[in-house]
Amino acid sequence: MKIIEVDNLVKVYGKGKRALKAVDGVNFSVEEGEIFGFLGPNGAGKTTTINILCTLLLPTSGRALVAGHDVVRQQAAVRKSIGLVFQDPTVDEQLTAEENLLFHAILYNIEPASKRRARMETVLKMVELYERRKDTLKTFSGGMKRRLEIARGLMHYPRVLFLDEPTLGLDPQTRHHIWSYILELRERENITIFLTTHYMDEAEFADRIAIIDHGKIIALDTPDALKSMVARDVITVHTADDERMAEIVREQFGLDVRRNPDGRGFSFKVDGGAEFIPKFVEQSPVHVLSISLRRPTLDDVFLELTGRQIRDEEVTDKDRMRQRARMPVRGHIAR
C-alpha cells in the first residue's frame, strides 16, 4: 500500500523576479513500512517538501497524500497520522523529559492517563532516557534531546515518521546510536520512515533513495541500483605534476579526468581499479605522491548526476551564523 503519494508538487517562495522555486514538480510515492530517503545538498528542497507533507506549508501547486489524506484539505487527519523530528530541536528546555511528552500526548489526544503513562514509559525506555525522565532538558546533551524527540514523535503511534536530518550536528557515535533506534523501530512498530539527509552513509540505510537537487528529483532507486549507475571504481591520484599527468591519463587511457575541487590531484573512473594501479604507477613519467582507490558511493552518484559534490555545500555561511548566534543564547535567555 502506498502511504505517501506526491503528484507534481511545486512550491514557489516570493513573487515576480524574486520568486524562488524551492520544489519544482516533484513526483514520488512511498510504500508502507519502507525507509525512504531524500538525499541532496542544503537548499535542494528537502525540508520544504517535508514541511508541505506535514501540513506546515501550502504547496503552490500539485497534490500530496499522506496515509490517504490530502495535506491541504485534510490537515487534521494528516497530522494525526504522522510523527515528526525536525532538523532543529523543538523541545522545551525548561520542561522535563516527562513534561515534554505529556504536552505532546495531550495535544495528540492520547487518553486516558493510564494509556498515556504506559506509552510514555515504552518510548522513553526505547531511547534509554527513562531514568532521566524527571530532569529538565537544559541538562541534556544534543544527542539526548534528539533521542527524546524521536521518542516524542512516536508517542501517538504515527503511521509515518518524518525525520528531517535526524543526526545533523551530532558526533559519529551518537549518530550511530540514533540509527540503531531507527532501525529497531521499523522492526518493532512497522512504521514508515521518511528521512532527509545529506550524509551519504546515512542514506545507505534507506530502502530507496530519491536524489534531489534544485527542487527536482534527479534519480530514485535503491542505494545499490543507484551505485551501479557509476559502476566503475574511482581512483584519486596526486602527483608531482598533476597538470601533465592528467593529460597523459586522458590521452593514453582515454579516460575522463576530473580535477579535485581542492586543487590537489585529480580523479578518474576505471573498471578493475585494483589491477589498474600498478600499471599506472609503472608507466607514470612523473613522481606519484599518493594514490587511492574507492568503490563507488552515493557521493559519486550525485557527482555523476550533477557535476558537484554534496559536501561542497554542506555548511553555508547562513548555517554557520545561525549556529553561532544560537548557541550562547540558548542557555541564558530562557524566555
Partner 1 sequence: METPIAVKETGMGDITHSLRSIGIIWYREILRALRNRAMIVSSLGMPIIFLFIFGEGLSPSMGNLTRFMGGGADVNFIQYIFPGVIGMNVIMASIMSGVSVVWDREFGFLKEVLVAPVPRVAVVLGKVLGGATVGMLQGVMMLIFAPLLGVRLSVGMVLELIPVLFLLSLSLTSLGVAIAARMRSLESFQMIMQFILFPMIFLSGAMFPMRDLPAWMDFLVHINPVTYAVDPLRQIVLRAQNIPEQMLAMLPQFGLGVEVFGHAMTIQDDLMIITIFGALMVVLAMWLFSIRD
Site residues for partner 1 per CB under 8 A: 12, 15, 19, 54-61, 72-73, 75-76, 79-80, 82, 84, 86, 88-95, 99, 102-104, 106-109, 136, 152, 330, 333-335
Around 290, how many Cα atoms within 13 Å sit in the side-chain half-sphere?
8
Report in angstroms how near the CB of residue 191 gets to partner 1 at its nearest.
17
As a whole number of angstroms, the distance between CA 38 and CA 290 comes to: 34
Query: Would you say 1 or 334 has its CB closer to partner 1?
Result: 334
Query: Would you say 307 or 331 has its CB closer to partner 1?
Result: 331
Residue with cell string 513573487: 15
Report in angstroms how near the CB of residue 273 gets to partner 1 at its nearest.
45
Report in angstroms how near the CB of residue 276 gets to partner 1 at its nearest.
50
What's the chain's length in residues?
Answer: 335
Query: Would you say 46 or 269 has its CB closer to partner 1?
Result: 46
Query: Would you say 92 or 128 has its CB closer to partner 1?
Result: 92
Query: Would you say 8 or 94 has its CB closer to partner 1?
Result: 94
Collect all residues with Cβ–Cβ distance below 8 Å to 260 and sequence separation of at least 6: 236, 266, 267
The DSSP element (H or E) to which 4 belongs, if any, is strand 2-13
Report in angstroms how near the CB of residue 93 gets to partner 1 at its nearest.
8
Start-to-end Cα distance in the chain: 45
The DSSP element (H or E) to which 241 belongs, if any, is none
Report in angstroms how near the CB of residue 7 gets to partner 1 at its nearest.
15
Q: What is the DSSP letter of 86?
A: -
Beta strand pairing call for 160-164 and 192-197? parallel
Report in angstroms how near the CB of residue 90 gets to partner 1 at its nearest.
4
Report in angstroms how near the CB of residue 21 gets to partner 1 at its nearest.
9
As a whole number of angstroms, the distance between CA 35 and CA 207 comes to: 5
Query: Would you say 6 or 235 has its CB closer to partner 1?
Result: 6
Query: Would you say 150 or 209 has its CB closer to partner 1?
Result: 150
Spell out the alpha helix ranges (H) of the chain. Answer: 46-53, 75-81, 97-107, 113-126, 142-154, 172-189, 200-203, 223-228, 242-252, 273-283, 298-306, 317-332
